[in-house]
């Protein structure tokens, strides 16, 4: 194997249908998922029962809860499918075997993490400084193939606003455009 991606490619395809839950909080068999087709999401459910979406994962994305990193009691995030999907899953222990001694794979992985941190940095800064409207515009620009594909209420959850508010934001944008 000479690349990080190939590790995933080798795995068998698993079919998951819309609404199917792949990871539940507290569960300790944390896995990573490479999405071949469809779309997954990761999210938390707060004390009031409200979901907050951390990440979407359409085709060619990798999604996981990062708890396996911390050796904690179990996952904090939930992961489920928001469309009928095909994924390749990597169990925790297999994930570790990626971290072998091949510097080129390790460097590729570092590159992936750097990109991930950079993306999260932007997300944090936008949550700190953007209004609901600015967040939505930024989301559309950053993920042009995603915003019309996932339900509005999930985009709202990702952006940290209510569906009602986002609906109004969108209405305003249509007027001024």
Partner DNA sequence: CGTGGAGTTGAATACGATCAACACCGGTGG
Partner DNA sequence: CCACCGGTGTTGATCGTATTCAACTCCACG
In the complex, the smallest distance separating the C-beta of residue 40 from its own copies, rounded to whole angstroms, is: 16
Is the Cβ–Cβ distance between 52 and 115 less than 8 Å? no
Binding mask 132-161 toward its own copies (x if CB under 8 A, else -) reads: -------------------------x--x-
> Angle 72-94-123 (CA atoms, 0-180°, nearest 5)?
55
In the complex, the smallest distance separating the C-beta of residue 128 from DNA, rounded to whole angstroms, is: 9
Stretch of 9-17, 95-103, 143-151, 163-171 contacting its own copies, by CB under 8 A:
95-103
The site partner of 131 among DNA, its own copies, none (C-beta below 5 to 8 Å per kind) is DNA
In the complex, the smallest distance separating the C-beta of residue 157 from its own copies, rounded to whole angstroms, is: 8
**12 to 41, contacts with its own copies by CB under 8 A?**
none
Residue 138 binding DNA, by CB under 7 A: no
Count CB-CB contacts under 10 A for residue 15: 13
CA 16, CA 63: separation in Å to the nearest integer? Answer: 15
Three-state DSSP string of 112-168: HHHHHHHHHHHHHHHHHHCCHHHHHHHHHHHCCCCCCCCCHHHHHHHHCCCHHHHHH
> How far is Cα of residue 162 from the mean position of the Cα atoms in its chain?
19
Residue 133 binding DNA, by CB under 7 A: yes
- Tokens 């992936």 belong to 112
Out of 124, 131, 142, 173, the residue judged to bind DNA by CB under 7 A: 131
CA 69, CA 73: separation in Å to the nearest integer? Answer: 11
Residue 23 binding DNA, by CB under 7 A: no
The residues of the shown chain that bind DNA, judged by CB under 7 A, are 131-133, 151-154, 160-171
The residues of the shown chain that bind its own copies, judged by CB under 8 A, are 44, 46, 50, 52, 54, 66, 69-70, 99-103, 106-107, 109-110, 113-118, 120-121, 123-125, 127-129, 157, 160
């Amino acid at each position: 194997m000479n690349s990080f991606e190939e590790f995933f490619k080798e795995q068998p395809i698993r079919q998951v249908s819309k609404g199917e839950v792949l990871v539940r909080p507290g569960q300790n068999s944390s896995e990573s998922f490479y999405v071949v087709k469809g779309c997954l999401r990761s999210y938390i459910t707060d004390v009031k029962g409200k979901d907050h979406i951390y990440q979407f994962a359409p085709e060619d994305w990798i999604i996981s809860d990062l708890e396996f990193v911390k050796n904690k009691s179990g996952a904090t995030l939930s992961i489920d499918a928001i469309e009928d999907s095909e994924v390749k899953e990597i169990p925790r222990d297999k994930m570790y075997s990626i971290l072998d001694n091949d510097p080129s794979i390790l460097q590729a992985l570092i590159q992936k993490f750097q990109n991930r941190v950079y993306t999260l940095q932007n997300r944090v800064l936008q949550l700190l400084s953007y209004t609901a409207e600015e967040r939505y515009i930024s989301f559309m620009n950053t993920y042009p193939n995603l915003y019309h594909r996932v339900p509005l209420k999930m985009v709202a959850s990702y952006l940290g606003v209510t569906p009602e508010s986002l609906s109004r934001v969108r209405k305003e944008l249509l007027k001024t455009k």
